[in-house]
Amino acid sequence: MESRRGRLHPAVARTREAVRAMLADLPRDTTVLVACSGGTDSLALAAATAFEAPKLGLQAGAVIVDHGLQSDSAQIAETAAEQCRTLGLDPVHVKAVEVGAEGGPEGAARTARYDALRDAADESAADVVLLAHTRDDQAETVLLGLARGSGARSLAGMAAVAGLLRRPFLELPRATTAAACVASGLRPWHDPHNDDPQYTRVRVRHEVLPILEEALGPGVLEALARTAGLLRADADALDMLAAELAESAVRRTDDEVHCDVGVLETAPDAIRTRVLRQAALEAGCRATDLTAGHIAAVDALVTGWRGQRWIDLPQGVRAVRRGGFIVLGIDVTG
Ligand SMILES: Nc1ncnc2c1ncn2[C@@H]1O[C@H](COP(=O)(O)OP(=O)(O)OP(=O)(O)O)[C@@H](O)[C@H]1O
């Protein structure tokens, strides 16, 4: 980790600085957990956190999720746990999860993983779980979102701080975490999924981004991450305006949400559709199941009312045009 002249390797220094900056606001004695797969990024995060947390008076542990998707997954999880213990992290949780079928294989694994991270945080009374997403992950998310026609909120990518979760490496390139592992003598687990071209993200990483970098120069990842930041600010502003409009446009009863068409129809599209999306969520739709297509259909009840009086949404929610209102709820009759 230190060079022959005794200087700290720059990559190790950068990972430590990023962790220190991310944890600096926490009161002493707070417990933080590193979500560690044993891969390059999260092993570098585990090492940097093990070094920085005690200096800030924090307790640092780790959580390793065993998704049970490979025959040797328990062994991989145990190796990662042992590396975390060796780094001095304590407690180290290993959580075996059952990955369901809902939301596709990657989505189901993600849902199970985040549930397990929350359970581990509850068990350790931890206030923070650290994830090792890097700037490369953020750039890939933006490119994939663009290709899928996402709006500003999705293109905003991942937040550095989102409730319990914090991502100290979101501005670091993956090359830095890799160099930090080498410099520290850490031996990360190599996830074969990261090379499997059946995953679109892998092809974006290995095929699309290199072409963009060749054509536009090495600043592409940074530029894409900057786009995410700009769109995050835009999406936050629009959400705020939508929340303000909802105060006059939306009323709630015990089991229904009523949206005033007269108020909504003069609002800009980006604001109106946000109010409708929030109304659908409050009426019982799950965020992961509610698509832009659903919201466009509800919006058509507001703006283009031509005979169509209702639309069915996920989780049994129905949106019904009733006079000057869109009424959303379970079993709402048209
Ligand atoms: N099995 C797991 N157990 C605990 N945390 C995990 C696990 N898988 C992923 N994570 C956390 O979620 C982050 C993002 O996951 P993803 O699979 O996208 O990671 P990655 O970029 O391959 O990172 P890594 O190199 O650390 O595996 C990881 O950096 C890690 O913090």
Torsion of CA 107, 108, 111, 116, to 10 degrees: -140
Residue owning the nearest CA to atom 19 of ligand 1: 133
Please answer whether residues 92 and 81 qualify as being in contact, where contact means their C-beta atoms are separated by less than 8 angstroms. yes
Number of domain units in the chain? 2
Answer yes or no: is 237 within a domain: no
Answer yes or no: is 202 within a domain: yes
State whether the beta carbon of 168 lies less than 6 angstroms from ligand 1: no
Centre of ligand 1 to C-alpha 27, Å, is: 26
* Domain end call among 216, 232, 267: 216
Residue owning the nearest CA to atom 7 of ligand 1: 37
Answer yes or no: is 95 within a domain: yes
Ligand 1 atom closest to 40 (CA)? 25
Q: Is 73 annotated as a binding residue?
A: no
Task: Give residue 229's region: left, alpha or beta (phi > 0; psi -120 to 50).
Answer: alpha
- What separation in angstroms does the CA of 125 have from each of 103, 119, 164, 318? 29, 10, 11, 40
Whole-number pLDDT of residue 3? 57
DSSP three-state, residue 15: helix
- Same-domain pairing of 265 and 190: no
Give me the CATH number covering residue 111.
3.40.50.620
Q: How far apart are the C-alpha atoms of 314 and 312, rounded to whole Å?
A: 7
Centre of ligand 1 to C-alpha 104, Å, is: 18
| Residues β-bridged to residue 318 | 312, 329
Answer yes or no: is 195 within a domain: yes
* Domain end call among 194, 216, 238: 216
ipTM higher than the 0.90 cut: yes
Answer yes or no: is 128 within a domain: yes
Centre of ligand 1 to C-alpha 202, Å, is: 14
- Nearest 5°: phi and psi at 323? 60, -130
- Same-domain pairing of 119 and 201: yes
Q: Is 41 annotated as a binding residue?
A: yes
Torsion of CA 73, 177, 133, 194, to 10 degrees: -50
Whole-number pLDDT of residue 192? 86
Q: Is 42 annotated as a binding residue?
A: yes
Residue owning the nearest CA to atom 18 of ligand 1: 133
Whole-number pLDDT of residue 104? 75
Q: Is 273 annotated as a binding residue?
A: no
- Same-domain pairing of 280 and 199: no
Centre of ligand 1 to C-alpha 133, Å, is: 7
**List of the chain residues with pLDDT < 50:** none
Q: Is 303 annotated as a binding residue?
A: no
- Same-domain pairing of 179 and 319: no
Answer yes or no: is 62 within a domain: yes
Where in the sequence is the domain holding 120, given as residue range(s)? 10-216
State whether the beta carbon of 65 lies less than 6 angstroms from ligand 1: yes
For ligand 1, mutation pick of 15, 34, 40, 41 (most atoms within 8 Å of CB): 41
Please answer whether residues 201 and 29 qualify as being in contact, where contact means their C-beta atoms are separated by less than 8 angstroms. no
State whether the beta carbon of 132 lies less than 6 angstroms from ligand 1: yes
- Same-domain pairing of 212 and 259: no
Answer yes or no: is 203 within a domain: yes
State whether the beta carbon of 59 lies less than 6 angstroms from ligand 1: no
- Same-domain pairing of 209 and 127: yes
Answer yes or no: is 43 within a domain: yes
Whole-number pLDDT of residue 306? 62
- Same-domain pairing of 23 and 167: yes
Longest dimension (CA), the chain: 78
Q: How far apart are the C-alpha atoms of 199 and 268, rounded to whole Å?
A: 37
Give me the CATH number covering residue 262.
3.30.465.60
- Same-domain pairing of 57 and 188: yes
- Same-domain pairing of 152 and 272: no
Q: Is 38 annotated as a binding residue?
A: yes
Q: Long-range contacts of range 208-211, CB-CB < 8 Å, 24 or more positions apart?
A: 208/143, 209/136, 209/139, 209/140, 209/143
State whether the beta carbon of 140 lies less than 6 angstroms from ligand 1: no
Whole-number pLDDT of residue 2? 60
- Same-domain pairing of 316 and 258: yes
- Same-domain pairing of 267 and 171: no
- Same-domain pairing of 31 and 87: yes
